[in-house]
Amino acid sequence: MWDTIVKVDLTSRPFRLIGDSGDVYEGDTLVIATGAQAKWLGIDSEEPMKGKGVSACATCDGFFYRGKKVAVIGGGNTAVEEALYLTNHSPDVTLIHRRDSLRSEKILQERLFAHKGVTVLWNKEVREFVDGGGNAGLVALELEDTVTGERSRLAVDGGFVAIGHHPATELFRGHLELDSDGYISVETGSTRTSVEGVFACGDVADKVYRQAVTAAGTGCMAALDAERFLAAAEFAELAEAAE
């Protein structure tokens, strides 16, 4: 079954989901696994360079740059964590930030600044991912100083955009409790959301690990939680009927 859900009604059971086809789907439980998408810089050269040296996931693609020079773009926790992770593969990691200070947690900054394999470039914005042509892929980043406007180039083999993620939760805003970053809030140790019978798994509820294996694991948890919820509801109905 293929459809795009455009509206939900979680106020009563069965829950109602309306697709852009006009079809209405009903269920006594709902498992949400809509994921999250990486934020990108939005510059012209970015899209054609994805997979040719430009990535938004160091843990996914870092291995391919073993022994090569890489750069991470960003200044928050994600950027610092990815830069530190990449030092496991690359002897030369550059963190590029458009401001003169990082937004990440202090403990992460201390680890970053203490690492000899990481260089930080302050007040710089990436204006272009430079394609070497043919099968060369990414060969450099065109940078602009945010203070002076001066342009420069940094030779790299890989560029990792790490400026955060967009959880796909707009459909559920006003229906479920979301955290300050827009991720669905779930109870600790489960996939239960703020609405009984609704469960969330994967990156839509996880802004820390964001890996296929952890998403699959929480998917299994959500299936078990939903199964137990339905079993408990069925038992309650039978008990009520027996009275």
Which residues have a catalytic role annotated? 57, 60-61
Query: Angle at the Cα of 104 (from 102 to 108), degrees rounded to 5?
Result: 110
Q: What CA dihedral angle connects 110, 143, 73 and 138, to 10 degrees?
A: -130
User: In b/e form, how buried is each residue of 53-87, taking b as 16+ CB within 10 angstroms?
Assistant: bbbbebeebbeebeeeebbbbbbbbbbbbbbbbbb
| 30-32 vs 198-200, strand pairing mode | parallel
Residue 201 near residue 221 (C-beta atoms within 8 A): yes
Q: Which two tokens stand for residue 48?
A: 């054609």
